[in-house]
Amino acid sequence: MIDEILENNRRFVAGKGYKKHITDGKPSGKTLIVTCMDTRLSVMLPEALGIKNGEVKMVKVAGGVILDDYDAVMRSIIVGIYELGIEEIMLIHHTDCGAGKMTGAHMEHLIRERIAADKVAEVEQHIDLRQWLNGFGDTGKSVRATMRRVKNHPLVPDNIIVRGFIIDSTIGALTEIEEYDQESATVVSKV
């Protein structure tokens, strides 16, 4: 498929298809979206949100999940805030997400079928492979956990707006996920 993609790219450039996409690289909307890499969202998400090229920064990662305070997604958020003037962060997970269903044990099994044991052992010196590849099960809980991680990050200023959503991966409808306040055991809406 890569060869087909390269041929498509040559036609795109020759036909000047890029002209309608020219922008300076800084988001005009001051919003950064973290979402899943699911192929169903590639075209549908921007269309469902009415986003035009150049309006937002979008970071795509399996499940839309931020694994720890210093992973590549969190780094992108920090760069977005300080270098690109991001003021709002939308965390958008989706229905029927494969990352929500995957288990670390199953992923580890698949890896061990294809990768030499010594290479897997080398990786396991740095991470718990099963935990690192484990899914999240409950999408709403995953959105809340991701919201907390961003909001509580020491490098994220208090005035940055962080909101979480689940998009229906079939029809594109957004549902806002309210932030769960553990201390009072109540649901509070972030406005």
| pLDDT digits 0-9 by tens, 65-81 | 888 899 999 999 999 99
* Pick from 83, 79, 70, 53: nearest CA to 153: 70
Which domain CATH number covers 149? Answer: 3.40.1050.10
Q: How far apart are CA 54 and CA 178, in angstroms?
A: 28
Residue 154 falls inside a structural domain: yes
* Pick from 136, 185, 144: nearest CA to 163: 144
Residue 180 has pLDDT above 90, yes or no: no
Residue 15 falls inside a structural domain: no
Residue 102 falls inside a structural domain: no
* Pick from 34, 25, 24: nearest CA to 160: 34
Q: How far apart are CA 166 and CA 175, in angstroms?
A: 5
Q: Tell me, what's the pLDDT at 181?
A: 45
Q: What is the mean pLDDT of residues 117-140?
A: 86
Q: Between 26 and 162, name the one with better pLDDT.
A: 162
Structure tokens at 149: 């991680």
Residue 14 has pLDDT above 50, yes or no: yes
Residue 164 falls inside a structural domain: yes
Residue 182 has pLDDT above 70, yes or no: no
Residue 4 falls inside a structural domain: no
Residue 9 falls inside a structural domain: no
Q: Tell me, what's the pLDDT at 40?
A: 92
pLDDT in tens, 39-51: 999 999 999 999 9
Give percent of the chain with pLDDT exceeding 70: 94
Q: From its phi and psi, is residue 32 left (phi > 0), alpha (psi between -120 and 50) or beta? A: beta
Q: Which domain holds residue 148?
A: 27-97+137-179
Q: What is the mean pLDDT of residues 151-167?
A: 96
Domain count across the chain: 1
Residue 63 falls inside a structural domain: yes
Residue 189 falls inside a structural domain: no
Q: Are 61 and 84 in contact (CB under 8 A)?
A: no
Q: Tell me, what's the pLDDT at 186?
A: 46
